[in-house]
Amino acid sequence: MKLKSSKGFTLIEMLIVIAIIAILTAITIPTFSHYNNNRNLKEAAQEISGDIQLYKQRAIAENTRYRIVFSVGGNNYSVQKETFYYSHVWVDVVVNKAVSPDNNQITLIGADSTVPFSNRGITTSGANVTQVIQHSKLLSQATIITSTMGKVSVTYVLN
C-alpha cells in the first residue's frame, strides 16, 4: 500500500513565514524613511549648488554680473542679472525658487545671504558665502559654501 504525500504548507508554517515578513517590514520601514529624508536634503543641496555653478558659468559666458539672493523667511532664492555693466540695475531671471519644491521639511537656516558673481565668475563679496539648509524633522544639515573664486562645495551632517 502506498501512502499519499501531501503537497503544500501547514497553517503553522504559513503563520511563521508571515510573522518573519512582518518583523522584517517593521525593522525596514523606519530605516527607509530616515534614508529617504536624508536623500531629500541631499537633492535640495545639489540643486542649489548646481544653480550656483550654472549662474557662475552664465556670468562668464554672457560677460555680465549675476547674483543669487537667498531669503530665509520665504525659504526660497531668486537669481538676478545686472542689466548694464556696473549699472546696479538688477532684473529677476528666476523668482522665488523653492529650496525643495517637493518637500516642505527642507528649510534655509541662518541669515539671508547673496552670492554675487562678476563677469569673470568670481564672487564679488570678498569672502566665502555660506548657506545652510536643514531637514526640520531629522535636523540633518547641508552647508553650501561658495568660495571667492566661485568654487562650490557641500558638506553634510546627517542624523
Question: Is-contact 93 81, C-beta < 8 A?
Answer: yes
Signed CA dihedral, 66, 123, 144, 113: sign only: negative
CB distance 114 to 129 below 8 Å: yes
User: Which residue, 114, 117, 70, is CA-closest to 96?
Assistant: 70
Domain-wise residue ranges, the chain = 11-157
User: Which residue would you say has higher pLDDT here, 30 or 90?
Assistant: 90
Q: Is the pLDDT of residue 68 over 70?
A: yes
**Residues 109-118: pLDDT tens digits?**
988 889 999 9
pLDDT at 87 over 80: no
- Per-residue pLDDT, 56: 93
pLDDT recorded at residue 84: 77
Work out the percent of the chain whose per-residue pLDDT is above 90. Answer: 52
Q: How far is CA 64 from CA 6, 30, 53, 59, in A?
A: 81, 48, 15, 5
Q: What is the DSSP string of 64-84?
A: S-EEEEEETTTTEEEEEEESS
Question: What does each C-alpha distance from 107 to 55, 104, 154 come to in angstroms?
Answer: 22, 7, 16
What pLDDT, on a 0 to 100 scale, did the predictor assign at position 78?
A: 94
pLDDT over 70 (residue 86): no
Q: Is 3.55.40.10 the CATH classification of the domain at 11-157?
A: yes
